[in-house]
Structure 1
Amino acid sequence: MKASLAARIFRTTLAIGLINAALTLVATEWIYEDIEETNLNISLAEERAFFQQRIEASARVQSWSSALLQVHYVPDTAVNTALPPLFAGLPVPFAAEVDADNETHLVSIERTESPPGVLYLAQDITVLENREDLLQQAGIIVLALAMLVLSLILARIGTGRIVRPLRNLSRQIATRKPGVDLGLIRTDYADQELADIVRVLNDLLAALEAYIHREKAMISLASHELRTPIAVISGALDVLEQRATLSEADQKTIARIRRAADKMQADVAALLKLAHRSDSMEKADQLDTNACVSAVIGELENSAPENAGRVTIVRTEPAPSVHADPALVHMLLRNLIQNALRHTHGQVSVRLGHDGLRVVDAGAGLPPHIHDRLNERQSKNEVPEDGLGLFIVGLICERLGWTLRVCKSGATGTEVELLYRAGPKSSG
């Protein structure tokens, strides 16, 4: 199963959206942290300026404290001064957050010029950090979900906008069918790439249509041209038979020539009929399949007396009526039964059922390449080199929408099934 272009575009667009969302969240977090740190530093700088003015010009250590603030001043003249644990071991200058005893403090250590010494400040921001972390996590989760939903929506909309013109083009192409006026595909696409594809397709359709018309004209001309010599042969055979001067051997030869001429005439009629693939040219009637089979058997027996009595009709179920072109149905049944008669010297039975019929013979079986061709394991586009009979049968079934398959083929005979509907082919 091939991958869907729409799914690939959707996944790619969604991945780009998620990457952008992740980068946005990281950048937002960094900017937020930077703003928070700047605000705290500004606030601490104001505190530092305030307490620096309160430093007394003396050689003693001074300290101030409140619920959230610790201030400690050590003059340069002080010796072996013990610092509070929060400031111990920190370099001068210093400015950063310090975690100690499950508390978070913003610590600032700087030298003072007048009086000379070191001013230590620590602001307790534990409550602020905890609340900020909670709000920040909730905000990130909400923002991430919102960006995920937005990415999904944008990916879906974007995929639809990209794929919709392709699907419209696919539907237009799907309406073009061989045998009818192909027409051109509309070119009012806003995207240049699609317009280029449509232009190339239209050029191809125009070339195909010209080719099909040329082939139809050639087949029709050849078929009409062949009708004249066939009619001349048939007329000459009638004249010879009317003279009644032929020996028994000559009469058998004349009969062989007439059978060949009749078959050629039937093949030419089939080719001419199949060359015109326009459904409007076909005359569909309600046909009694039992009567059609009987008429074909009678025709084959009249054209070849040695076939008299060799074909029997077996009615296992009431034979249905079908809505189809009488000429095509006649050609199909004639070629199918005639092929069975040609490949066996014994009896041939036509078994009529409620949804189709089966032609059963007692011959040596079909050659493998013909067996594969009838079951569509070979290309139907290749004209066979071993006769047109079964090839024409396949073309007519394709035209009528019927199914032809080989149910059995071997040393004990061949059984070919014809269903009055389209369906899967079996290997038989």
Structure 2
Amino acid sequence: MKASLSRRLFRTIFAVGLINVLVTLIAVEFIYEDMEDTILRLELAQERAYLEQGIGEAGRQGWHSSLLTAVYHPDGATDELPEIFRGRPVPFSAEVMIGDKTYLISIERTANRAGVLYLAQDISLLESREDVMQVGMTLLGLCMLLLCFALARVGTRRIAGPLHGLSRHIAHIHPGTAFTRITAHYDDEELADIAATLNHLLDTLEAYVQREKSLVSLASHELRTPVAVIAGALDVLEQRNSLGEADRRTVARIRRAADEMRADVETLLKLARRSGADDEAEDVALTESVREVVTELESGAPEHAGRITCYATGPAPTVQADPALVRMLLRNLIQNAIRHTPDRVNIHIGADSLRIVDTGAGLPEHVRARLADGSDRRVPEDGLGLFIVRLICERLQWRLEIRRSDEGGTVLELLFAPPGAPPVQG
């Protein structure tokens, strides 16, 4: 499964936005904490300096306000300290939770007196405001994430939207019709370049297709002419009534070969045109067609006589298709089987399938892969028989299955649709 460019673009844009949000929130939190700590400690240092100036000779002194508690404890004094300062080392500086309040405590020895100055500032209100600020920062972060999500969606659509449009336009281009050019109205230079390059490619392909169509038309004329000449010459020989029995049999074989050649030329030209509009569909009795092909092969190659056996497991099936295509399909399948096995070839005809069984060495691996891969359009260099079979099956909307192919032989099954039934699904 291939990755989606749109999803990758969305994830990338959203990830960049998420990183920016996280970095911003962390930076704001760090700066706020640093500023708060710096301001509080500066204020406490100023309070300490002011109180040290007011320390007299009277011994222990204390100061108390709504937010500040201060005690000067001279060396040697035995008075008990307030609970907030008890058991704390000298020096000491930290935030301390006592009950539901938070204090910034600073304990240091005085510079001008032999003692210790204890300071405790109530910062509970500041801490509660900090909690409110953190909630606000969290909500701000969520809003920024939603904004990043929306911007990522919009950015992805703006970037990938023209690509999807270009892809849809290309998907509507079919080889059998005139190539519709891509309108190069894109605002982005890169997409305009891609559209221009594709249009140039379409110009080249259309010229190539037109040349191939001209060659097919020319081949149609050039191939029909010699076949018509052969048929006319045979008519002249028969009209003279001067041929012996052996010569008449030879002329009959030549006529059958000429008729087959004419039919094959017409069939191959139909396949080369790729369009099924000129196919002459009619009811074809499959059992009769198989027997005609077998008779034709045995008369053309006497060494094959008696090697092909047909079995019908029910009423003779009838298919609606072009008789010339059906005959060429059957001839290639049966001929391929009898050429690659020294033993007999059995043909089993069912209501909706035809099975050809031989006892040869099996199909080569690359031939099996070619038959299985319907996307491989290359003309093989090792024979056209099965390649033509696959093209005819596609035209008739039939399916060819390899049921077995090993050293014990090959079993090919042709699945077709009787009249009125839907096409065989692959």
Pick from 377, 396, 402 the counterpart of residue 400 of structure 1: 396
Asked if the contact 2:286/2:317 (under 8 Å) is kept, the reply is: no
Q: Does 2:86 align with 1:89?
A: no
CA 1:150–1:249 in 2, change beyond 3 Å: closer, same or farther?
A: same
* Partner AA of 1:419 in structure 2: F
Q: Does 2:246 align with 1:288?
A: no
Alignment of 1:11-50 (within 5 A): 11-37=11-37, 40=40
CA 1:179–1:226 in 2, change beyond 3 Å: closer, same or farther?
A: same
CA 1:57–1:343 in 2, change beyond 3 Å: closer, same or farther?
A: closer
C-alpha distance in structure 2 between counterparts of 1:264 and 1:24, whole Å: 81
Alignment of 1:222-241 (within 5 A): 222-241=219-238
Q: CA deviation at 1:300?
A: 6.9
Pick from 220, 242, 262 the counterpart of residue 265 of structure 1: 262
Asked if the contact 2:334/2:356 (under 8 Å) is kept, the reply is: no
Which residue in the other structure is 1:417 paired with?
Answer: 414
SS of the counterpart of 2:132? helix
CA 1:249–1:382 in 2, change beyond 3 Å: closer, same or farther?
A: farther
Asked if the contact 2:398/2:415 (under 8 Å) is kept, the reply is: yes
Asked if the contact 2:402/2:412 (under 8 Å) is kept, the reply is: yes
Asked if the contact 1:340/1:348 (under 8 Å) is kept, the reply is: no
CA 1:79–1:130 in 2, change beyond 3 Å: closer, same or farther?
A: closer
1:232-268: CA deviation from partner (whole Å, max 9, x where unpaired) = 1122223233434444554444344334323322221
Q: TM-score, normalized by length of structure 2?
A: 0.75
Which residue in the other structure is 2:192 paired with?
Answer: 195
C-alpha distance in structure 2 between counterparts of 1:264 and 1:385, whole Å: 22
Which residue in the other structure is 1:63 paired with?
Answer: 62
Pick from 150, 153, 156 the counterpart of residue 153 of structure 2: 156
Asked if the contact 1:69/1:123 (under 8 Å) is kept, the reply is: yes
Which 10-residue stretch deviates more, 129-138 or 105-114? 105-114
Asked if the contact 1:187/1:195 (under 8 Å) is kept, the reply is: yes
C-alpha distance in structure 2 between counterparts of 1:327 and 1:320, whole Å: 15
Q: CA deviation at 1:122?
A: 3.5
Alignment of 1:278-357 (within 5 A): 278=275, 281-283=277-279, 285=281, 287-289=282-284, 291=285, 294=288, 297-298=291-292, 301=295, 312=310, 314=312, 316=314, 319=317, 322=320, 328-329=325-326, 331-333=328-330, 335-336=332-333, 349=347, 351-353=349-351, 356-357=352-353
CA 1:240–1:81 in 2, change beyond 3 Å: closer, same or farther?
A: farther
Q: 5+ unaligned residues in a row in structure 1: which ranges?
A: none
Which 10-residue stretch deviates more, 240-249 or 369-378? 369-378
1:16-39: CA deviation from partner (whole Å, max 9, x where unpaired) = 122111101112212332453466
Residue identity over aligned pairs, in percent, reads: 47
C-alpha distance in structure 1 between counterparts of 2:221 and 2:204, whole Å: 26
C-alpha distance in structure 1 between counterparts of 2:283 and 2:313, whole Å: 13
Asked if the contact 1:283/1:326 (under 8 Å) is kept, the reply is: no
SS of the counterpart of 1:375? helix
SS of the counterpart of 1:185? coil
Q: 5+ unaligned residues in a row in structure 2: which ranges?
A: 418-422
Query: How many residues are treated as equivalent by the alignment?
Result: 408
Q: TM-score, normalized by length of structure 1?
A: 0.74
Q: CA deviation at 1:298?
A: 4.5
Q: CA deviation at 1:302?
A: 7.3
Which residue in the other structure is 2:420 paired with?
Answer: none
Which residue in the other structure is 2:378 paired with?
Answer: 382
C-alpha distance in structure 2 between counterparts of 1:2 and 1:105, whole Å: 60
CA 1:266–1:321 in 2, change beyond 3 Å: closer, same or farther?
A: closer
C-alpha distance in structure 2 between counterparts of 1:360 and 1:367, whole Å: 13
Q: CA deviation at 1:153?
A: 3.6
C-alpha distance in structure 2 between counterparts of 1:212 and 1:62, whole Å: 107
CA 1:143–1:189 in 2, change beyond 3 Å: closer, same or farther?
A: same
Superposition RMSD in Å = 4.5
Asked if the contact 1:25/1:140 (under 8 Å) is kept, the reply is: yes
SS of the counterpart of 2:206? helix
C-alpha distance in structure 2 between counterparts of 1:124 and 1:100, whole Å: 10
CA 1:241–1:113 in 2, change beyond 3 Å: closer, same or farther?
A: same
C-alpha distance in structure 2 between counterparts of 1:255 and 1:411, whole Å: 38
Asked if the contact 1:292/1:330 (under 8 Å) is kept, the reply is: no
